[in-house]
Structure formats: C-alpha cells, structure tokens
A and B are shown apart, each in its own frame.
Chain A
Amino acid sequence: MPEAAAVAVAAAPRLLEVEAITKRFGGLTALSEVSFSIGEGDIYGLIGPNGAGKTTLFNVLTGIYRQDEGGIRFRGSALRNATPDRIAKLGIARTFQNIRLFANLSALENVMIGRHVRTRATVIGAVLRDAATRAEERAIEQRARELLEYVGIASRANILAKHLAYGDQRRLEIARALATDPKLLALDEPAAGMNATEKVELRGLLERIRSDGTTILLIEHDVKLVMGLCDRVLVLDYGRRIAEGLPRAIQKDPAVIAAYLGTPRDAGPRAGTLPGESGK
C-alpha cells in the first residue's frame, strides 16, 4: 500500500477506538494500556502468542468483562458500563473461540435467535399474533434462511447445531452473529480446526462480508490467513501492545519475532507461529 493511502486510512472516521484499556484479574494484568482503532470497512487482525490477552480484549470489547481502566468508543460514542446485549444492539457481534452455539436447536433457529435484537414482538404480540407479529415472524425466518445461504449451509438449516460438522458450526456462528446486523463483526479464531479447503472458503466469506459493508475484527492463529486478509494487524504479548501496523511491517518487526520465537537469551520458543513462516 502506498504511504499516502495509508495516511488516508488513518485519517478516515474510526468505527472503534480503544484507549489505554487495562484489565486485571487479581494480581494478573491481562491487558495493560492497550490502544488501537479500527476504521470502517477494515479487516483488522489481532494476533499474539497463547495467553497474550486476545480473548480478554474481545471479552472487554463485547461487555463480558469490564475494563479496570481506559475507554472504548464505538461509532463516536463511549461504551461505558455497557452490557453484552446493549453492545450487540449497538452493532458489535461476536463469535466464540470455543464455539457457543445453541447446541440443541436447529441451525435455522440459531440464526433466528440472532434476529431477536432487531425485532420487537412483545408478549402481547406473541399471544395475539396480530398481523404485524406474523409479518415479523416471516421476515425473521426469511432473513435467517438468507444468512444460512450466505455462509453456505442453507441445505443444513434443520440440522441441530451440535450435529453440524465443525467447519459448518463455525459458519453458523458467523451467520448467527450477522443476523444481529452488526457494524463490527468480531471473530475469535474462526479458522481454528478447519482444513485447508475450508480456510480458503472462509477467507472468501470474510472478504464478501467486508465488501458488503461490515467491518471485521479477527483473532487468528493462522498467520497466512491473517497476513493475506487483514488491512492492519495488532500484536499483543503478555497483555501489552508490542506492534501495530500493516501486515508486511508486522512480519519484520523485531519485537514480534522475539515474542513468537523468544530472544536469543530465552530458554526456548513459546507456543505460536512465527509471522514470517507464512507457508506453514
């Protein structure tokens, strides 16, 4: 990317701004003054060795944890003490590292539940089944079927979530998250456990989601995927931001290489993959 274009991206209106977030669990500082911002339409990568604080950061962003210090601004307004359901309503939807579908409900029902936040039927509407409620129910089901089609599992709409193949469960989680009409889709290791073909398909899906106007925040261990897909990358280690920038620059960053492989004086490499080893 030419330097001028990079500057233009940095000056564009920011969708999400994270300012010096700190999160402690007892004596452990899981996140230490982490700052970054995501522009509208970006695919933003979040990488780091195991235990670096990536999922903690996700949980803070989606309101499951509350940060001890620092602030988050989403679409220009501060998220103060916002609960997960409020954040979903504002437009951040997420998937989980350890898939958390509604396992005993069908794929279609899972996505229909995702529509909850954008629909309004009350108890009275549900009991009386007036015309508006019936129309809304039809719209919910239609939208859910469209989304299953969109992620490519329409033929498995009536299969229970827990009986779906692993890769399909990951897709279903994405469809369920998309059902909430998010502005920012936060994906926690969507490619984990996928084979090479599935990863290629996933990449196509994520690019399509972006081109359809949804910004993506992506935690991923598959470095090839991150480097090929992301516009910018943030690297965490021990809860600190050690690098942030374009993927190409990240790959060469000495701090990042040290975090993944250890400095020469360290006893041995830590878990994780060297960003440069893209073919692995």
Chain B
Amino acid sequence: MNALISLKQRPHAKWIGIVLIAGSLLALPFVLASVGTAWVRITNLAILYILLSLGLNIVVGFAGLLDLGYIAFYAVGAYVYALLASPHFGLHWPWWAILPIGAAVACLFGVLLGTPTLKLRGDYLAIVTLGFGEIIRIFLNNLSDPFNLTNGPNGITTIDPVRFFGIDFGTVSRVGALAFSSTIKYYYFLLAVLIVVIAVNLRLQDSRIGRAWEAIREDELAARAMGINTRNMKLLAFAMGASFGGVAGGMFSAIQAFISPESFILTESVMVLSMVVLGGMGNIWGVVLGAVLLSFVPEVLRYTVTPLQMKLFGRAIVDPEVLRMLLFGLAMVVMMIFRPAGLLPSAVRKRELAVPKNA
C-alpha cells in the first residue's frame, strides 16, 4: 500500500518500472531460448495456467464458489478450436473466429453447470462440479461412435496453428538477425491475451459486479436482502470463469496441434485450484504468482534433480516425479501452517482466515 502511494507521488518511477517490466517480458523468450528451447514452451504452458487460474479465481476467489471441475471448460475451448480448425471435419476457420466461439461455448457450459448448482455451496458444490468435470472428459472419450465427434481417446491431430496477418505461428520467421520460432511467437500471443485478461479481472474486481460477488461470498442471504440477484450473479461468475477457460483451451489446441481427453483429467483441475489457493484466492497478482510457481518449480526439478543425483551418488536414486509430489505435499503443509490465506492473500481473505485476537 505504501509502495503504491509513493509510486503515485512519483509518476516517473512508475513509468520506468513499467518500461523495465515490459522490456524484460519482451526479452524473456530469447533469454530462455539461449538456455534451452524447452523453457520457452514451459513458459507458454505457464501462461496458459495463469489464464486458467485467473478464470477459476473469478468463481472461487471472487464469488466463493468451490469448483473442482474447472478443467472441463478448458477442454470445451480446446475441442471447439480443434474441431473447427483441423482435418477432422475438414474445417479450417481462422483463430479470431474460433476463440470467441470457444469462449461462448464454454460460457454456455458454465451456465449449464451453474444452473442446477445454484443452491449448493461448499462441499456439495465441490462434489457436483467434480462430477461435471469427469462427465465432460468421459463424453470426450466416448463421442466417437456412432457419429465421430471427438475421435475418442485418440484425440484430434494436426490442428491448425494461428495465422496472423500472413504470419504462420507454426513455422519459424526471421526478422533481420532474430529468429522467431513457433513457440516464441506463441509466447507473445499468449502474453497479449494475458495482459487483456488481467486488465479485465482487475476492473471486474473493483466494480459493482465485483462487489456483488464479494457480498455473495460474505453472506449470501444478506446479499439477497440487499437486492442482489444472487442467481444471476453466480451464473455470471460461472459464465465469466468458463469463458476465460475456453479461451485458454483454444490457445492450448493451437499451440499443441494435438489434443486428447487425457489432457483434461481431474488432476489438472486440482492443479489449477492449487495455483489459486497457493497464490492467494481473490488476489489477482497472488493467483498469477501461484500459477507461475506451480508451473515452473516441477520443471526446474525435472531438469536439476537427476543430474544433481548423478553428480552426488553416481546414479539417480529418487525419480523427479516422486520428488515433485513429495515437495508438493510438504509445500501444502508448510502453507497451511504459515500462510493459510496464500502467498499474496487478498486483503479480504486474509481477514477471513485470521484468528481473531479478541475471540
């Protein structure tokens, strides 16, 4: 807070900060590519996870509705893109048409999930949303017969890359001495989407709509008595969250060029929820931090644990995957004890979880 105030008093410092951050974000893929091209791909996946976490944050963090099946909307967005831009149906629509369609279809599914669960809260809502996530995945797995809609467990291949003013995001383009690989181009694309999504979230939070969501989270009955149409507001939260999931799904399809139901399992929902909770429910920057940490730390482990063991013991004793789960559990316990409201909790969440001093 103090930092913000001092920034307002020194507008130059603020602009210098923005330029520095923008510069490092623009240079980032080239720095990462010099370490290893895999890191750019990992960064892209991290941005997708940030998009997902921000979408889920609207439902869980703002409106206080626990959703364990969020990945279903990601799946819907991904399949909409895949079906409309692949040889599967021979359709090759442009990305700028498909992404909004994917968002709209995911939004529809959000309302579909929201409508029957309006009266549920907490554990009960969690179970229903979990079931919903599984239903979507099982449908995707089985909608190949008699009419082959999703191609079942084999998934959909050779999905079209994004094409933008003649730039094909699937190939390398050169501008002077700089080589923009497919991954690097997608990085910039994702970054642009991310900035828009963050801006939308920040503005929603600090608005009449955001306050209505907060009221519902705090006391639904009082919110209704104050004239808030809780049904519409909850559906709106589901719909908005789902749309962001749908956009992220479409991007995922374009980047991977291949999707199958396996990418949309329950663990993914849990992962996204963990990102939201780890970073701090309700705080947009906290959620971003949570998603970045949970996307990168496992990858860093993957690339360091085995070589480190080779050096120390001459052989790999612990599999990085095992270590990842071990550290994950440890992190959860540590967080529960020291920062139950997340790394960067929203002011409100912090108050909610604080132990009252005078109680």
Known: A94-B225, A113-B223. A105 touches B204 (CB 8 A): no
Is B219 in contact with A113, judged by CB distance below 8 angstroms? no
Q: Which residue of B lies closest to A177 (CB)?
A: B226
Q: Which of B203, B221, B226, B236 contacts A180 (CB 8 A)?
A: B226
Is A126 in contact with B210, judged by CB distance below 8 angstroms? yes
Per the 8 Å Cβ criterion, residues 206-241 of B in contact with A are: 207-212, 214-215, 218-219, 221-230, 236, 240
Interface range, A side: 35 or more
- Complex contacts, A89 vs chain B, CB 8 Å: 227
How far, in angstroms, from A62 to B227 measured CA to CA in the complex? Answer: 10
Known: A126-B209, A129-B203, A137-B207. A105 touches B227 (CB 8 A): no
Q: Which residue of B lies closest to A113 (CB)?
A: B215
- When each residue 52-94 of chain A gets 1 if its CB lies under 8 Å from chain B and 0 otherwise, what string results? 0000000000101000000000000000000111001100011
Known: A62-B225, A64-B225. A100 touches B219 (CB 8 A): yes
- Complex contacts, B210 vs chain A, CB 8 Å: 126
How far, in angstroms, from A112 to B214 measured CA to CA in the complex? Answer: 12
- Complex contacts, B230 vs chain A, CB 8 Å: 85
Q: Which residue of A lies closest to B353 (CB)?
A: A104
Whether B348 sits at the interface, judged by CB under 8 Å, is yes
How far, in angstroms, from A96 to B240 measured CA to CA in the complex? Answer: 32
Most-contacted residue by chain B among A102, A140, A179 (CB, 10 A):
A102
Per the 8 Å Cβ criterion, residues 103-135 of A in contact with B are: 103-105, 109, 112-117, 119, 121-123, 125-127, 129, 133
Is B224 in contact with A121, judged by CB distance below 8 angstroms? no
CB distance from B2 to the nearest CB of A (A): 16
Whether B262 sits at the interface, judged by CB under 8 Å, is no
- Complex contacts, B204 vs chain A, CB 8 Å: 123, 126-127
Q: Spell out B's residues near A (CB within 8 Å).
A: 200, 203-204, 207-212, 214-215, 218-219, 221-230, 236, 240, 348, 351-352
Q: Given known contacts A102-B215, A122-B209, what 15 new A-B pairs fall within 8 Å (CB)?
A: A85-B228, A94-B225, A100-B221, A102-B222, A103-B218, A104-B348, A113-B211, A116-B227, A117-B228, A121-B207, A123-B204, A126-B204, A137-B207, A137-B208, A179-B226
Report 29 cross-chain contacts, Cβ distance below 8 Å, ordered by A residue.
A64-B221, A83-B229, A84-B224, A85-B226, A85-B228, A85-B229, A88-B224, A88-B227, A93-B226, A96-B225, A100-B225, A101-B222, A102-B222, A113-B212, A113-B226, A114-B226, A116-B212, A116-B215, A116-B226, A117-B228, A119-B208, A121-B207, A121-B208, A122-B209, A123-B240, A125-B207, A127-B204, A137-B208, A180-B227
Q: Spell out A's residues near B (CB within 8 Å).
A: 62, 64, 83-85, 88-89, 93-94, 96, 100-105, 109, 112-117, 119, 121-123, 125-127, 129, 133, 136-137, 140, 160, 162, 176-177, 179-180
